[in-house]
Amino acid sequence: QAASMAYKATVNILKQLQQDIGDDSFALFLTLKKNLNSLIISIDTSRSIGNYIDLAKDISINIVNQYGQLEFAPHNYILISFNSHYAKIIINSRKPNDLTNAIQELNSCENYASALGGMYYSSLIEGLIQSEYSSVIYTFTDSSASDSYLKYKARALLRNKHVVIYSFLGQQMKKFLLKSKFDLVDQLDVNDDGTDFNLSLLMPPVGSSSCVLSKEPPCEHFPFGLNFLNKLKPIGIK
């Protein structure tokens, strides 16, 4: 009899929850709907990426379009803009067209003090707070991260939500990586003078991958379409 009463009480609670939050949210709560992840685009709009902003926007829009063709599209679509002073969410919508339109309206050079570095980790945190489990983040930047003190907070959120990051770096960062002989998998966080200097490539526990932005024809570097998404695989972290 006690078991029967507990069962009925549980059913009543679930019915009330369904009425309160609606059928779609209730299905997500029960994991009956498979589009539980988020698609997050994070674009540096400081002066440093000015030469690549159109390319970054084109790649981003193509990514959104490709995800829209999948059997189970993302649950929500998020766009984040960041520079050397702040990171902010531009859009968080269930509609991919809202994300595409927001990307098209982005402009670079919001802040000309790009030498300060970008609020890269802040942008990750902004997106991760709003994201679902097992989401994907695409970042675009050509400057170092100035907010390294947020690195571990971002890493904890990445680990908890099992998020994967794909990073696109500009030629400036490519030259810095080559000159400094940085390993893209094992990021160093200290300058020669001992100060923090996080690259705008965060390797989360789940995995990450990077590409270099170029003003050359995109097809040379980015085989657009589903093949592009398939080739850009995350690097496993031990």
Residues 54 and 12 reside in one and the same domain: no
C-alpha to C-alpha distance for 80 and 41, rounded to whole angstroms = 6
For the record, the structure tokens of 36 come out as: 């539980």
Q: How many domains does the chain have?
A: 2
Residues 43 and 125 reside in one and the same domain: yes
Residues 13 and 86 reside in one and the same domain: no
Residues 71 and 26 reside in one and the same domain: no
For 85, phi then psi, to 5°, come to -120, -30
Query: Over the Cα atoms of the chain, what is R_g?
Result: 20
Residues 210 and 191 reside in one and the same domain: yes
C-alpha to C-alpha distance for 199 and 205, rounded to whole angstroms = 16
CB atoms under 10 Å from CB of 156, counted, come to: 13
Range of the domain at 221: 36-231
Three-state DSSP state, 95: coil
User: How much is the pLDDT for 67?
Assistant: 84
Query: Residue-wise pLDDT tens for the chain (238 aa)?
Result: 666 777 677 777 778 877 887 776 666 565 555 666 899 999 988 766 666 788 888 888 988 988 877 777 888 999 999 988 889 999 999 999 999 999 999 886 654 444 556 788 999 999 999 998 889 899 888 777 888 889 889 989 988 888 888 888 766 666 655 555 544 433 323 333 333 323 333 333 334 444 544 443 333 333 333 333 333 333 332 2
In contact, 139 and 165? CB cutoff 8 Å: yes
Residues 95 and 197 reside in one and the same domain: yes
C-alpha to C-alpha distance for 151 and 155, rounded to whole angstroms = 6
In Å, what is the CA distance from 65 to each residue of 46, 115, 120? 25, 33, 25
| Residue 204 exposure: Cα atoms within 13 Å on the Cβ side | 29
The string over 45-62, giving b where at least 16 C-beta atoms fall within 10 Å of a residue's C-beta and e elsewhere, is bbbbbbbbbebbbebbbb
In contact, 57 and 104? CB cutoff 8 Å: yes
Q: Which amino acid is at 173?
A: M
Q: Does a structural domain hold residue 101?
A: yes
Crossing angle (nearest 10°) for helices 120-130 and 151-161: 30
What global pTM score does this model have? 0.66
